[in-house]
Amino acid sequence: MTISTGTAPETRSFEADVARLLHMMVHSVYSDKDVFLRELISNAADACEKLRYELLSDPALAGDDGQPRITVTIDPDARQLIVEDNGIGMSEVELAEALGTIARSGTRAFMERVTAAKEGNREGEGAQLIGQFGVGFYSAFMVADKVDVFSRRAGADTAAHWASEGLGSYTIQLVDPAEGPARGTRIILHLKDDAKSYTEQFTTQRIITAQSGHVPVPIFLKEKPDAEEKQIADGAALWTRPKSDITAEEYTDFYRSAAGQFDEPALTLHYRAEGLHEYSVLAFLPSTRPFDLFDPDRAGRMKLYVRRVFITDEAQILPRYLRFVRGLVDSNDLPLNVSREMIQESPVLSAIQKGVANRILSELDKLAEKDSEAYRKFWDDFGAVLKEGLYEDFARRETLLGLARFKTTAGGEDWRSLKDYVEAIKDNQTAIYYATGTDLDRLSSSPQLEGFRARGIEVLLLTDQVDSFWVTAGVDYQGKPFKSVTQGLADLSLIPLADGEAPATQASAEVDGFIAYVKDVLGEEVSDVRASERLTESAVCLVAPDNAMDRQLEKLLAGAGRLDNAAKPVLEINPRHELIVRLGTLPQDSSLREDAARLLLDEARIADGELPADPRAFSARLARMIGGAIQ
């Protein structure tokens, strides 16, 4: 890329997404504009942290200005607000890339959410989304109708100037280095008329200390260009202060500026690990779901510091299933000159990874014990993510099973734990039964549950995608395996019916004969046809053969194109059902018999949310049946 030098700035168009985003910033996100300051300061602080990291290997970059700082200057006469840092800076190429193109995964999602919020008359949400989606810089255009950026990369002897009015284009040019900062970035906002209040010293100072008082770089404020600057935030690392000195508000402010969240943390965890390895942890559980919970690219990033120097947010400190946790770890004993790549190999990092994950799980356990309401809320938000650990983290499976909560046939609206389940288990019941599906209501009324319900056997109702995976991963709880109600034989004969009735007696010879006939007619379409233990009200249902995959998992995999041949289901027939008893009495040569046999299979398919195998033949049979009934 070449950049024009000298007098003529080069004009370039923003990428289409940037232009749309800017339009949105200006027109949709109109409440809570103060966040632009938080975004610019957080970028400035990031730039200082990046420089700090580069200084480790190239101390000469510091020149004679080694102390990182952010300076905010107010110019009421020119109606400007200037945010300047002496961080890493941007070369002209970086400037054009960072502020002209967006390849960030969250952008489009952000715009969709803002549009949705707008349509739902929830405009205020838009501003809250900005930080989360990493579209921070452009929020400057909420308050400015023109933005100038002068930047000089550490160690470079050129400076560049970027300018835009936030419409379709920006200009960029190399400038005399004396026009830019000696190192770092200066951002000049030409404030809109309705954003004049940011030139009031008191207003701006209040916003900065509230939103950004805990960024790890000191902040200075000048109330006019030639005024004396005063320090308004000390840049001390909050996590190094003793817990007893830190107020809840300080924690919340820190959480918000560090995690780009706008909620209150649901849980704050601040401790210092001592012993073999020394490190501090400051971690937060959000009280609302971050938008990118299921976006693997942006999955939870705990920051890693070494003696207060930010090293990386890609050290994967926490397992994937804890990606909703926000915060940082500051290690005392990782070597400072370790490269980001080498860190992954370090035994110190593995010790930290292990320690922090264990601690978070034990805090969750405590929360469940102490405050079931808060835990319930936590589980609503993040249970589906935590359950991924049940098949990803074998070593912590016991712990995770203990933390897991379920909707069950016995719990109604409440979450039940496996401990609750096992305490209520029936005599002779050897397994923990579950049903998987996508919809709780449909699931709880599925015919496969009838025999369990009639015996008072609790069934877990699993509706998250991940459920189909962990239940089939050979998990057990207190020696009880998990067993699907739609898979294999339901051996319920040893457990009496709840209303005291003895289990039904043998089916009549006629019914047995009819079932054998159905099996004959359906042939290869099913893997078996048999009398059912699990049905009490419905006439038929489909289940998976004994050693086959659960039907729900099979459907999921087939839907994802990851299954070549699905197992044929077993058709179970309720020999006590009135319809079946009467079908048993049909004469052998009745023309109704074959139609009935095939309709029973289609009925079971439909109850499972599937289509009949041959919809036209199905309609024809149904028409014949209805016709016969009318005569």
Kindly tell me which of 185 and 280 has the beta carbon lying closer to ligand ADP: 185
CB closest to ligand ADP, residue no:
136
The residue within the footprint of Mg ion, chosen from 25, 29, 43, 407 (CB under 5 A), is 43
HSE, CB side, 13 Å, CA atoms: give it for residue 427. 5
Kindly tell me which of 135 and 460 has the beta carbon lying closer to ligand ADP: 135
Give which of Mg ion, ligand ADP, none residue 383 binds (C-beta under 5 to 8 Å, depending on kind): none
Token pair for residue 404?
Answer: 């897991």
Q: Please state the closest distance from residue 452 (CB atom) to ligand ADP, in A.
A: 50
The residue within the footprint of ligand ADP, chosen from 19, 78, 98, 156 (CB under 6 A), is 98
CB 464 within 8 A of CB 439: no
The C-alpha atoms of residue 215 and residue 376 are separated, in whole angstroms, by: 32
213 is an annotated ligand-binding site residue: no
Kindly tell me which of 51 and 604 has the beta carbon lying closer to ligand ADP: 51
CB 255 within 8 A of CB 228: no
The footprint of ligand ADP on residues 21-40 (CB under 6 A) is 39
Using CB under 5 A as the binding rule, whether residue 136 contacts Mg ion is answered as: yes
The C-alpha atoms of residue 94 and residue 96 are separated, in whole angstroms, by: 5
The residue within the footprint of ligand ADP, chosen from 87, 216, 265, 290 (CB under 6 A), is 87
Give which of ligand ADP, Mg ion, none residue 220 binds (C-beta under 5 to 8 Å, depending on kind): none
Tell me the residue ranges of DSSP E strands in 365-472. Answer: 405-408, 416-417, 432-436, 459-462
Binding mask 39-58 for ligand ADP (x = CB under 6 A): x---xx--x-----------
70-75 and 80-85 beta bridge pairing: antiparallel
Pure H helices in 523-566: 551-559
The count of chain residues that interact with ligand ADP, using the rule CB under 6 A, is 15
The footprint of ligand ADP on residues 131-150 (CB under 6 A) is 134-137
Pure H helices in 260-396: 340-343, 347-370, 372-386, 389-392
Q: Please state the closest distance from residue 84 (CB atom) to ligand ADP, in A.
A: 8
135 is an annotated ligand-binding site residue: yes
Give which of Mg ion, ligand ADP, none residue 583 binds (C-beta under 5 to 8 Å, depending on kind): none
Kindly tell me which of 76 and 100 has the beta carbon lying closer to ligand ADP: 100
Give which of Mg ion, ligand ADP, none residue 90 binds (C-beta under 5 to 8 Å, depending on kind): ligand ADP
What separation in angstroms does the CA of 537 have from each of 509, 576, 578, 581, 600?
Answer: 21, 9, 10, 13, 14
CB 225 within 8 A of CB 73: yes
CB 174 within 8 A of CB 158: yes
Nearest alpha carbon to residue 402 among 388, 385, 390? 390
Using CB under 5 A as the binding rule, whether residue 131 contacts Mg ion is answered as: no
The binding site for ligand ADP (CB under 6 A) comprises 39, 43-44, 47, 85, 87-88, 90, 98-99, 134-137, 185
Binding site residues for ATP, as ranges? Answer: 39, 43, 85, 90, 105-106, 132-137, 185, 340
